[in-house]
Structure 1
C-alpha cells in the first residue's frame, strides 16, 4: 500500500493546467475538493476504531452501520455536494441492448427491432419476451 503526501497531491493539482483539470473532472468528478477538507484527528481515530474491513462498515457492539454519503459529508464537514456524481465507476458495464440480449436470450436484431423510445429513454415493452 502506498500513502501519498497530502501536500504533494496539492502541488500536483496546482501544476495542472485547466485542460488537464477538466479531463480529470470528466473522468472522476470534482474529487479535488477533498484536498481541502480538514478531518479531525479524534474523529478519524474513532471511525478507524470501529471500522470493520471484513464487512466494509462500522461495527458498534452487535450493530453494523453504513453511513450515507450525506452522513459522511456531515462528519467530514464537507460543504460541497454534487448530487449527480458518483465517485466510483464500474468497468465494462453492458449496454442496455446487451442486457436485453442476455435477459431474453435473443439475437441483437430481434432485440433492436423491439426497443421503443420515449423521450430520451429506451425501453422494452412489457409482455414481450423470448417466448412472445
Structure 2
C-alpha cells in the first residue's frame, strides 16, 4: 500500500485526467446519493434510519454503501454509541463540512433557479415536439 507521502507526490491533481484519484472521490460527492447525504448531515448528526427517511428514495443497501465511501474518503465520521440498544451516529468531519457547505449552497442556488429551469425545459420540449 502506498504511503500518504507517495500519494502526495503526484500533485497537482487534475479531475479531468482519467487516472486522477480525485475522480472516484468526485463521484462519491456528486453521485446520485453522496451529495444528498452530505447535505442532510450538514444540519446535524443523524442515525442511519434518520438519514434514510430524510434522503427520500435511497435504499438501505445504497445508503450503507454511500456512507462507507464517504467515511473512507474522510467526509463522514461513524460513531458507535454504547447504549442499549447500540446506536450508530453519522456526522461530518471538518473535511466533510467544507464540502457539504458548498453543496448546500449549490442546492439552494439550484432550488432558487427552478422556475427558470422549468421554463427552459418547457421551451425545449415545445421546440422538439415532446
Q: TM-score range by the shorter chain?
A: under 0.3
* Greater share of residues in helix: 2
TM-score normalised by structure 1 residue count? 0.27
User: Whose radius of gyration is greater, 1 or 2?
Assistant: 1
TM-score, length basis structure 2 = 0.28
Q: Which one has more relative contact order, counting CA pairs under 8 Å at least 6 apart?
A: 2
